[in-house]
Amino acid sequence: MNSPVFRWAIVLFVAITLPGRAWDPCGHEIVATIAFDHLNPKARAEALSLASQVVGPEKAYDPVTIACWMDDLRGHYPNLPYRGLFFPWHYIDFGLDPGDPQPVVEPGQDNETSGNVITALKRIEVVLRGGTDPYVKTKAMAYAMASHLVGDIHQPLHAATYYHQDANGRWTNDLGGNRVVVVNGPAIEPTYNLHYFWDAAWRVSFDEASGRVAVDLRYENWKHHDAEVVRALAEEMDAALKPDAQTKLNPDFEAWAQESNKLAREVAYARLTFTDNHKSARISAEYVALAQPLARQRLVLAGYRLAALLNATLGADAPGPVPPSFPAGPVNTIMPDTSVVTSPSK
């Protein structure tokens, strides 16, 4: 059975049953705070204007809370425009080994319900530079997407997944760690998995007494979108983890994804001991000690790279030639039922 309806049933089943976000909301706000602090005056004024044009669920967005818009579309607010769309734009499923299946990364193979973070950012840059796109309808929408997805592409498990072949030789994968249960995760989160760990890795610690991963609960309530809650931490992280002069900041979305994939291969997966045929893992104090500073460094770097992208587009007196507009992807004749509250796998 391979009808469009059946395929969408599978998509919705995965979306409904598998948890995951990206960086958690405060993590995204840290990226946006650092980026906004490094915008030039023209880009800053444009960011303030564009953020206010995006429809929010409860109150107007600002240049920090706008980084949560793409996660707000994931089903929490039923009346939000574009709700239920763009799920795959948050990540790209590069494998860990050269022989793994590789995703198509060319715009034109994507639409609102397919694609990946690289093709998404290519489309977004076109619109930020004054071009048009069939899916990214306005510059305000492009700004909201950039504010979120530049963060996502720096999360190691948003650019990596563990592929393996089942008993019939068919390829399957762990959805970027969503299918790997962390057996010693926080007691407050019974469905904690490896992807969740990395979403909040910037605020994790290891509780030696219980042998469990612990998360800083001060940043747990994502619904409030209180930008000032994270400002002091963002400034502290920026001062301590500022990229050096050799770090490339200009947009190179493929390179950013490969950079994250390398960290997934060398740290996120390689430093774990998996059990139950890769279905579960126990996280050690040593693993947490590696992951937490690495996650913080990735957030800061994402903030600087987002600022570079916005300064080159929104803040440039002459932003340069507009890249060619990309074609629309395959037409979906069956759209998902966006009245269903769903959570994407990443």
pLDDT at residue 12 in the model:
33
Q: Which residues pair with 280 in a beta bridge?
A: 181, 275
287's tokens: 């693993």
Residue 25 lies in a domain: yes
Residue 59 lies in a domain: yes
> How far apart, in whole angstroms, are the C-alpha atoms of residue 258 and residue 76?
31
Tens-binned pLDDT, residue by residue, of the chain (346 aa):
333 333 333 333 333 333 445 799 999 999 999 999 999 999 999 999 999 999 988 888 999 999 999 999 987 788 899 999 999 999 999 999 999 998 989 888 899 999 999 999 999 999 999 999 999 999 999 999 999 999 999 999 999 999 998 889 899 999 999 999 999 999 878 889 999 999 999 999 999 999 999 999 888 765 556 667 789 999 999 999 999 999 999 999 999 999 999 999 999 999 998 998 899 999 999 999 999 999 999 999 999 999 999 999 999 987 677 777 888 988 643 333 333 333 334 6
Residue 117 lies in a domain: yes
Q: Which residues pair with 273 in a beta bridge?
A: 282
Phi first, then psi: give them for residue 219, nearest 5 degrees: -115, 30
- Report the Cα 226 to chain-centroid distance in Å: 20
- The number of domains in the chain is 1
> How far apart, in whole angstroms, are the C-alpha atoms of residue 122 and residue 117?
9
Q: Is 253 exposed, middle or buried (0-12, 13-18, 19+ CB in 10 A)?
A: buried
> How far apart, in whole angstroms, are the C-alpha atoms of residue 27 and residue 155?
10
Question: What is the residue range of 189's domain?
Answer: 4-313
218: which residues sit within 8 A by CB, 6+ positions away? 229
> How far apart, in whole angstroms, are the C-alpha atoms of residue 43 and residue 324?
23
- Report the Cα 238 to chain-centroid distance in Å: 20
Residue recorded with tokens 């030696």: 208
Which CATH number does the domain housing residue 160 bear?
A: 1.10.575.10
105's tokens: 């990364």
158's tokens: 């948003």
pLDDT at residue 243 in the model:
97
Is 234 within 8 Å of 219 (Cβ atoms)?
A: no
Amino acid occupying residue 128 = L
Residue 319 lies in a domain: no
Q: Is 193 exposed, middle or buried (0-12, 13-18, 19+ CB in 10 A)?
A: buried
> How far apart, in whole angstroms, are the C-alpha atoms of residue 344 and residue 11?
9
Residue 234 lies in a domain: yes
Residue 206 lies in a domain: yes
Specify the pairing of strand 204-207 against strand 212-215.
antiparallel
Specify the pairing of strand 204-207 against strand 280-282.
unpaired
Q: What is the total residue count of the chain?
A: 346
Residue 300 lies in a domain: yes
Is 283 within 8 Å of 213 (Cβ atoms)?
A: yes
Residue 60 lies in a domain: yes
274: which residues sit within 8 A by CB, 6+ positions away? 180, 280, 281
- Structural element, H or E, at residue 275: strand 273-275
